[in-house]
Amino acid sequence: MSPLFALLACTTATEAPVAADTTSLEGPALLRRLSLDLRGTLPTEAELDLVTTTPDAVWTVSDIMLQSDAFERRFADLVAESWLTRVDEFNVGAVDYGMDAAVEPLLVRDVGDEVPVFLAAVAAEDLPWSEAVEADWTMSTELLMSIWSVERIDGRDSAAEGWVRARYTDGRPPGGAVMTNGMWWRYWSAPNNYNRTRAAAIGRLLLCDDWLVRPIHIDPSEQTNVGALEEAVRTQPSCVGCHDSLDPVASALFGYWWFDLYDPSEMQGYHPEREFLGERYLGLAPAWFGRPMSGPADLGPMIADDPRYYRCAAQRTAGSYWRRTLGDDDFDTITALTEQFAAGDYTMRSLVRAVVREPEYAASGFVDPAAADEAVVTLRVMQPSQLATTVEALTGYAWTEGDYAQLDNDAVGYRVLAGGVDGHGVTVPSELPSVTRALVEQRLAEAAARTVAYDDLAVPASERRLLTEVDADDAPGSAAYARQLRVLHRRIHGHEPDDEELAEDQALATTLVESGAAAEEVWAAVIELQLRDPAFWTY
C-alpha cells in the first residue's frame, strides 16, 4: 500500500485509534491544551508558574477553568461547530424584516447562536442534560426579541455578551433546543420533505443515530408506480425500514411547518393550529420509535428518556475535545464516559471533566513511534474561533469588518480558509495547516502584532499587554531585550525559548534596527514571528 492510501485508510472518520501506548502531555503543555480547549485562551502567567512548580496542580486549575465564564463561551463555540448552526445565511434576512442590510451579520449570528448559547447555559448552570430538550426557556438577544415572540424572563443570563434568559410566547411547547427558531431555521424543510430533514437532524444530533447513514437503495422490483412516492414510503420494504421511525418524528414538528419558506411571518412563530397536519400529510401520528406521543410537548421528554440520548452527548462531547469523530468502534469508550456522565447527575461539566481526564485527551505521541496512529490527534491546530479569542486576549486585536467577525464567517471573512466549518459545504473542521491558513495567520499576526506593539510602546510599562520589559530605546542584546523575549515566548508559546530561538529573535531585531526601523516596527516583527510560529497555533 502506498503511504498515501495508508493514511487515507487509517484516518477514516469512524475508525477508533488502535490501542498503542501513547505518551502524555504534562505540566505547562497540558495546562495549555486544557486552557485552549476549555476557555479558548492561553493560560495566565500565574497558572503557568503554579503548574511549572507543581505539575499535579494542573487538574485543580482545570476544574477552576470549568467553572469560568470562558468555559461557557468556548462550549458554545464547540456546539456550533458540531451542530453546524453558524451558517452565513438563512432563508430570510435583515432586509426581509425591513431592517437595514447592515444588521445582517448580527442577525445571522444571533440566529445561529441561539442553540449553542442555550446549550452552553444548560452546561454552565449544571442542569441535568435532559434540560437541553425539555427546558421551557431559551437564550435570546435584544435583536431577536425585537423581531420574534420572545420575552426576557428572570433567571441566570448567559456569559455570552448580550444573551439573556428568555421564553417564547407563541404557544410552542417546552422542548429546549428542539423548540427553538435557531434549530429550525438551520434545519428547514422543503414542502415535499414534510419535516423529514428535521427529524433526521434530531436523530443525528441528539441520538447519533443517523437515518441517512444507511444509503437508500431503491429496489427496481419494488418500484411499480413512480407517481406514488409517498405511498411507497409506507408500503415498500426498502423505504419502511427508515421511514417507519423517521416519519412519526417528522409528524411531531408540524407546528414549524411553513407554507412559504421565505416569509418571516411564517418562519418566526410557532403554529399550534398546524400540529395536526403531520398526521394528514404523512399518514402517521407523532411517535418516538413506536411510543405514541400525545402531542409535540412529548417530544423533548421522550428524547430525554431514550438511553441513546446520553450516549450521544458523550460521543459528541468526546469528539469535540479529542478532535475526531467517534463511532461504533468506540463503543466501550462511549459506555465508560456515559457512566461517568450518569454518576455526575448528567451535568455537562461532569462529562467534560471526564472527557479531558481520559488518556486520549492528553496524548502527545507514541511510546513506539512505529506504532504511531494518525487517528489520535496528538497535536492540535487551533480552530479559527480559538485564534480569534487567543489573539484578542494577547494583543487586544479583534479582526472585524463592520459587524462581521472575520474569523467567524465566510460571507466576507476567512473562517473556512483558516480551517473552520461553514455549516453547509464544509462540515468537518480541518485539523491540519494549509496554504490558506498560512495566509490567514500571516495577516492576523501582522495586524495583531502591529496593534500591540504600537499600543504598548505608547503607554507606561504598567499598562502594557506584552512589551512589559522594554523601552523604545532598549537595544537588541541588552538584558532588558533578552528578558522581554523570554516573556514573549512564555506568554505566546507557553514555554521558555531555547537558545536557537532567542538567537533568531535577536538576529531579526538586529537586522531591522540596522535597517533603521523604529522600535514599534521591530517589536511588531518579533511578535509577528511568535504568532506565526506553530508553537503558538498548535497545542
Q: Taking CB under 8 A as the criterion, which residues in 280-339 touch another protein?
A: 325
In the list another protein, ligand HEC, none, the entry touching 241 (Cβ below 5 to 8 angstroms by class) is: ligand HEC
Q: Considering the rule CB under 8 A, would residue 507 count as an interface residue with another protein? A: yes
**Whole-number Å distance between alpha carbons of 211 and 200:** 6
- Residue 185: phi and psi, rounded to 5, are -75, -35
Site string for another protein, 248-287 (x = CB under 8 A): ----------------------------------------
Specify the stretch interacting with ligand HEC by CB under 6 A; choose among 188-196, 254-262, 483-491, 492-500: 188-196
Helix-helix angle 384-395:435-457, to 10 degrees: 10
Per DSSP, what are the bridge partners of residue 366? 22
| Shortest distance (Å) from residue 229 CB to ligand HEC | 5
Q: Considering the rule CB under 8 A, would residue 381 count as an interface residue with another protein? A: yes
Residue entry with cell 503558538: 536
| Shortest distance (Å) from residue 443 CB to another protein | 5
| Shortest distance (Å) from residue 454 CB to another protein | 5
The secondary structure element, H or E, covering residue 80 is helix 69-83
| Shortest distance (Å) from residue 200 CB to another protein | 8
Contacts of 421 (CB under 8 A, 6+ apart): 81, 84, 415, 427, 428, 429
DSSP string, 231-269: HHHHH-HHHHHHHHHHHHHHHTTGGG--SSTT-HHHHSS
Q: Considering the rule CB under 6 A, would residue 261 count as an interface residue with ligand HEC? A: no
Report in angstroms the alpha-carbon separations of 375 from 10, 83, 337, 385, 431: 7, 22, 19, 23, 11
State which amino acid sits at residue 483. R
Cα torsion 72, 179, 113, 317: sign: positive
Q: Considering the rule CB under 8 A, would residue 124 count as an interface residue with another protein? A: no
Which residue among 99, 242, 277, 518 contacts ligand HEC (CB under 6 A)? Answer: 242
**Whole-number Å distance between alpha carbons of 44 and 61:** 11
Per DSSP, what are the bridge partners of residue 365? 23
Specify the stretch interacting with another protein by CB under 8 A; choose among 151-159, 292-300, 337-345, 431-439: 431-439
Size of the site for ligand HEC (CB under 6 A): 21
In the list another protein, ligand HEC, none, the entry touching 500 (Cβ below 5 to 8 angstroms by class) is: another protein
Helix-helix angle 499-514:479-493, to 10 degrees: 120
Which residue among 243, 450, 490, 493 contacts ligand HEC (CB under 6 A)? Answer: 243
Specify the stretch interacting with another protein by CB under 8 A; choose among 99-107, 113-121, 154-162, 497-505: 497-505
Which residue among 237, 290, 369, 460 contacts another protein (CB under 8 A)? Answer: 369
**Whole-number Å distance between alpha carbons of 186 and 383:** 22
In the list another protein, ligand HEC, none, the entry touching 66 (Cβ below 5 to 8 angstroms by class) is: none
**Whole-number Å distance between alpha carbons of 316 and 305:** 18
Q: Considering the rule CB under 6 A, would residue 207 count as an interface residue with ligand HEC? A: no
In the list ligand HEC, another protein, none, the entry touching 211 (Cβ below 5 to 8 angstroms by class) is: ligand HEC
Which residue among 217, 237, 290, 307 contacts another protein (CB under 8 A)? Answer: 217
Q: Considering the rule CB under 8 A, would residue 228 count as an interface residue with another protein? A: no
Specify the stretch interacting with another protein by CB under 8 A; choose among 106-114, 115-123, 344-352, 442-450: 442-450
CA dihedral (509, 42, 205, 185) in degrees, to 10, reads -70
Q: Considering the rule CB under 8 A, would residue 459 count as an interface residue with another protein? A: no
Per DSSP, what are the bridge partners of residue 405? 400
